[in-house]
Homo-oligomer: A and B are copies of this chain.
């Protein structure tokens, strides 16, 4: 551990600590002074202590980043991108995940505060959390919320599931499907997806199959849910599934049952795992640009960081694309099977 301080440098260069500090911070000094100080720094291998700097400057150059327990590739893609972007500006990420360690999001935000982070990037686990909102608001640092509508007082970036699912549902409806099941957890922004689902039915002048929409089902065991669904008397002819796990569960179940996609069941995946295009048949997917989400988070964040005046919070939505591949077809009536 380096024990060399600015004092040592000052002594070595035979100047005052104040002068060394000036050189360090690029303030105007004489050429001679700068030379002496630089020489001493090189000589001693001095590295400034960021703790001490942070203390005086009242800024740590650290950003608190909180992601939930869900093992969602989206979060990591965003973390990576944000990290890349912020490192460029000299910031570092203090990362914490809110799972499996018995600490709540509020606890972690409190810890971020104690560590005097310069800002916060938060992907909350739940849609609304008064305690968390209050905690964030009274902190008052630049904050971006990812994926939830916590409160309009913060900037946030969302995927526009509502219209995405609407498009996907309409596509299936147009193909002739009527009994479409939406398999997504109720929690979180699930309601947006359900809204899109209902909207598509409404627009087609149809009633959505209430028994196939959450919150009907969805335990943690996706495979089990899918199995029950497919085995029921009035089984759906198409599935819209959220996320890798449920998709995998559905696909596995179908293989076990020797059901064919898309002949026996059409499938649309919400989210585009790498392998959706590899699978046989390739899975039709509602995808969005992870890179763009990440870019927006980083931009929104940096813009707040740079304005001195409170910037107006913005809610940004990232649109989705329905990527047509081979997992959807006109439904075959059960009797014909």
Contact = CB atoms under 8 A, between A and B. Distances in A.
A232 interface: no
A79 interface: yes
Q: Which of A54, A71, A88, A113 has the most CB of B within 10 A?
A: A71
A51 B48 contact: no
A255 B275 CA distance: 13
Interface string A269-280: 000011101111
A95 B67 CA distance: 13
Interface residues of A, number: 59
A244 B273 CA distance: 11
A28 interface: no
Contact of A55 (B47, B52, B111, B248): B52
A94 B51 contact: no
A71 B73 CA distance: 7
A114 B244 contact: no
Contacts of A48: 114
A273 to B, nearest CB: 7
A76 interface: yes
B55 A79 contact: no
A244 B84 contact: no
Given A47-B110, A87-B96, A273-B274, 7 more contacts: A62-B115, A70-B79, A71-B79, A92-B94, A248-B274, A275-B278, A279-B279
Interface in A46-78: 47-52, 54-55, 60, 62, 65, 69-71, 73, 76-77
Contacts of A278: 248, 251-252, 255, 275, 279
Interface of A: 1-2, 47-52, 54-55, 60, 62, 65, 69-71, 73, 76-77, 79-80, 83-85, 87-88, 92-97, 99-103, 110-111, 113-116, 139-141, 244-245, 248, 251-252, 255, 273-275, 277-280
Given A62-B94, A83-B70, A275-B275, A102 B88 contact: yes
A284 B280 CA distance: 17
Contacts of A115: 50-51, 62, 92
A277 to B, nearest CB: 7
A113 B84 CA distance: 19
Given A55-B51, A275-B279, A2 B252 contact: no
Contacts of A101: 83-85, 87-88
A275 B273 contact: yes
Contacts of A80: 69-71, 97, 99
A83 B96 contact: yes
14 contacts: A1-B116, A50-B115, A70-B80, A71-B73, A73-B73, A76-B76, A80-B99, A83-B101, A87-B96, A88-B102, A92-B95, A92-B96, A93-B96, A248-B274
A99 B103 CA distance: 30
A140 B1 CA distance: 6
A288 B94 CA distance: 29
Interface centre among A48, A79, A141, A278 (most CB of B within 10 A): A278
A95 B97 CA distance: 12
Contact of A79 (B92, B95, B251): B95
